[in-house]
Chains A and B, each alone.
Chain A
Amino acid sequence: MDCNDFEKLAGRVLDGEAAPEEATALEAHAASCESCGVLIGDLSALGRLHSGLPELEPPAGLTDRIMAGIKRFETGRTGWIWRVLVPAAAAVFVLLGIRIGTQITDAWFGEPAVVQHSEVTGLEHLDVYPPDSFGKAIELAAKGEDDE
C-alpha cells in the first residue's frame, strides 16, 4: 500500500466500511509512514469534532403541530369532495327536481296529450265512426238527405 492508496482507504476504514484485510493493511502502513499516521489522526479528530456537535432539543409541542399539519393535509385532500362534488351533485338534484316537477304539473293541469296524425297513419281506410254508433246514424241520415 502506498500513501495514495492509504488516503483513499482511510475514510472507508474510519467509517467501518472496509474489509478486515484492508483495515489491517492500513494500520500497517500508518505504523510505518509518519505522514499517513498523522493523516489518520487528523481524520479521526475531525470525526470526533463532528460527533461532538450538539443535538438541539426540538421546540415544545412540535409533535402536536406536526399532527395538526397532517390533519390539515387530510382535510385538504378530501376537501375537494366538498368543494366540487357536493355542489355538482346539488345542481344535478335541482335540475332533476325541475324536470320531474314540470312533468307532474303537465300531467295534472296541462293539455291532454294530442295524438299526432303520424301515429295513426295506415288507419285512413276505416270509417270515422263505428258502424252502430250515433255518429254513424247522423252521417247516414245526412247522406240520405243529400240523396233526396
Chain B
Amino acid sequence: MEDDILMQRAKGGDHDAFRQVVERYQREIYNYFIRSTGSIEDSEDMTQHCFVNLYNSLGRYRRSASLRTFIYRIATNLAISFSRKRKLPLSLDILVEGGCDPASESSSDRPEDLAYVRELQQAYVESLAKLPAEWSMILDLRIGKELSYKEIADAVGRSVSSVESILFRAREKLSAGMAPFLSR
C-alpha cells in the first residue's frame, strides 16, 4: 500500500496503517541514527522518538510531500539536537566492529587484503566522525540513502545550493583524511 494511503488512514486513527509505516522505514531511520550517534542504545531511543514525532505530526503531513523526506526531516532535527548535546567526540567504530564484513568489500580472500580493507574502513569511519554533524548527515542522505539534492534540502531545511556546497566541502575534508589511502 502506498505511503499516502497509509498516512491518510493513520490520520483517521488506524494504528495498523501507522504500524506499516513504522515497519517500512524503521530500519533505514535506525541506521541513519547509528551513523549520526555511533550508539545502538541512542539510535533505538531516537528511532522511537522519531516515529512518535511523526505520529504527532500526522496533521501536518501533506500528500504532495514525500513521506520519506518528511521522516528524514524529523530524524535530522533529532540527530542535530543530539549532536549539540553530545559531550564526547563521535565514534563510529560500531560500523567496523558491528557488522562490516571486510570479505564483502574485498574480492580477495588473502588475510593481508582483508586486513587492509578493515584498515581502510576504520580510517573512513574515523574521517566521517570528524566531519561536522550536519555534513556527515547530508553526505549519508546523499550517498547512503540516495536522496536527491532537492530532497536533502527539504529534509535539512537548507537550499539546494547550500546542500551542494556542503557535499563539496565534506568530500574535500574526507579526501584529506583519507589521503594516505587514496591514489593522489
Q: Contacts of B128 on A, CB cut-off 8 Å?
A: 50
A58-B183 CB under 8 A given contacts A43-B171, A63-B22, A66-B47: no
A39 touches B184 (CB 8 A): yes
Name B80-108 residues within 8 Å CB distance of A.
94-95, 98-101, 104-105
B164 touches A12 (CB 8 A): yes
A38 touches B183 (CB 8 A): yes
Q: Contacts of B171 on A, CB cut-off 8 Å?
A: 11, 43, 46
- Could you tell me how many residues of chain A have their Cβ less than 8 Å away from some Cβ of chain B? 33
Return A23 CB to nearest CB of chain B, in Å.
15
Name B100-121 residues within 8 Å CB distance of A.
100-101, 104-105, 120-121
Name B123-155 residues within 8 Å CB distance of A.
124-125, 128, 139-140, 142-144, 148-149
B30 touches A56 (CB 8 A): yes
In the complex, A8→B35 CA distance in Å?
Answer: 26
Number of A-B contacts defined by CB within 8 Å: 111
Q: Is A73 an interface residue (CB 8 A)?
A: yes
Q: Contacts of B52 on A, CB cut-off 8 Å?
A: 66, 69-70, 73
- Could you tell me how many residues of chain B have their Cβ less than 8 Å away from some Cβ of chain A? 50
Q: Is B72 an interface residue (CB 8 A)?
A: no
B51 touches A38 (CB 8 A): no
A58 touches B47 (CB 8 A): yes
Return B40 CB to nearest CB of chain A, in Å.
7
B15 touches A52 (CB 8 A): no
Q: Contacts of A67 on B, CB cut-off 8 Å?
A: 15, 18-19, 22
Q: Contacts of A35 on B, CB cut-off 8 Å?
A: 184
Q: Contacts of A63 on B, CB cut-off 8 Å?
A: 19, 22-23, 26
Among B27, B51, B105, B164, max chain A CB count under 10 A is at B51
A-B contact pairs, 10 of them (CB 8 A): A8-B168, A42-B184, A50-B124, A53-B35, A56-B30, A56-B34, A66-B51, A70-B15, A73-B55, A73-B56
Given contacts A46-B178, A52-B104, 6 further A-B contacts (CB under 8 A): A12-B164, A15-B142, A43-B175, A50-B128, A50-B143, A54-B101
